[in-house]
Amino acid sequence: MNNRRKLLVALGVGALAAPFGSFAQQQGKVWRIGYLSSLSGSNELSEAFRDQLRILGYIEGRNLSIEYRWSAGDDARLPEMAAALVQLKVDVIVTSAGLPPAAAKRATSTIPIVTAATADPVGQGLVASLARPGGNLTGLSMLSTDLTGKRVQMLREFVPKATRVAVLAMKGTPATPLLLAHMRTVAQQMGLTLIVQEVNEPEALAGAFAAMQRAGAQVLIVQQAPFTAANRKLIVDLAAKYRLPAMFDLRQFVDDGGLISYGPSLADLFRRAAHYVDQIFKGAKPADLPVEQPTKFELFINRKTAKALGLTIPQSLLMSADEVIE
């Protein structure tokens, strides 16, 4: 073989070997996810996220590692937890609702962040816009504040004469001022009086409900937040004790005896978050991935609770409900 042919063969082998070697190296990579949450441990939402990752081909122990950080309601720990994930040099940070997205964004401007469920990412200053996030954070919005009017209307179908609406909100979360601003707008449009109680400790819940009763509350809107989710049974029991028809975001409250819930499917949002992670692993930049709004909403009603409160379930809600829990 002359020198020219040897050179051509060498170049050909090199051209074939380079992409193969690059592909093999990429296939052999173990991707690292940092998961930051205000909850206390694995739950159906984190499992929905992991299940979808498995469907997409990411298997823990093979090509995926997830570093979990749970603040268990102690949100003062979130900054140090976010910083620890940055120190681990994870490939992406995934956050749940509440304060974790802001904590992660303060901890890094370079590691991609995917928020699985945020009340209002634009209003909270997490992204420049839904269409063009512009920084290192993207993900999914819960539309929690935008659904306020719809939730109040549904409650008033149960109690048409209600004019005094109580709001149980979480003190100290960035979404709370946005929710209350929407509530004030809705109240002004509907001629309602708002009774606001902001809490962030379980011990304060009983006093908050007693204050609502003294103020003449007729119905109740409960903000979706890690605090209310962690204390849902106590909140549902207090609503029953004070005979307050209550609206929640999540089905779990209705399963525990709450009257009604309406909101996006959180499990669906967490599954969608896995797709964002997949796109980022494949080279997409968070700044170029629009924030998605939910497309699947769920309405659940507890018939037993309605009966205990002396309420008739309106036909319009019966027809719209995903499930009436007996």
Examine the pLDDT at 62 and tell me if it is beyond 70.
yes
Torsion of CA 243, 319, 44, 222, to 10 degrees: -30
Provide φ and ψ at 111, rounded to 5°.
Answer: -70, 130
Provide φ and ψ at 311, rounded to 5°.
Answer: -110, 145
Cα separation, 243 vs 286, whole angstroms: 46
Distance of CA 44 to the CA centre of its chain: 12
Give the strand order in the sheet containing 137-141. 64-70, 31-37, 92-95, 113-118, 137-141
What length does the chain have? Answer: 326
Fold of 29-142+266-294: Rossmann fold (3.40.50)
Residue type, 285: K
pLDDT, tens digit, 9 for 90 and up, residues 271-306: 999 999 999 999 999 999 999 988 888 999 999 999
In degrees, rounded to 5, the angle at the alpha carbon of residue 47 between the alpha carbons of residues 43 and 52 is 155
Query: Tokens 């659940």 — which residue?
Result: 300
pLDDT on residue 20: 35
In degrees, rounded to 5, the angle at the alpha carbon of residue 258 between the alpha carbons of residues 254 and 260 is 70
CATH of 148-264+298-325, one of 3.90.79.10, 3.40.228.10, 3.40.50.2300, 3.20.20.150: 3.40.50.2300
Cα separation, 298 vs 320, whole angstroms: 9
pLDDT on residue 144: 66
How far apart, in Å, do the first and last CA atoms of the chain sit?
Answer: 84
Domain ranges of the chain: 29-142+266-294, 148-264+298-325
143: Cβ–Cβ under 8 A, 6 or more apart, which residues? 264, 293, 294
pLDDT, tens digit, 9 for 90 and up, residues 181-232: 999 999 999 999 999 999 999 999 999 999 999 999 999 999 988 889 889 9
Query: Tokens 């001022």 — which residue?
Result: 177
The answer to whether the CB of 103 falls within 8 A of the CB of 85 is no
pLDDT, tens digit, 9 for 90 and up, residues 16-54: 333 333 333 355 799 999 999 988 888 899 999 999 999
Cα separation, 84 vs 66, whole angstroms: 13
Q: How many other CB atoms sit within 10 Å of the CB of residue 216?
A: 11
Nearest to 229 by CA among 3, 16, 45: 45
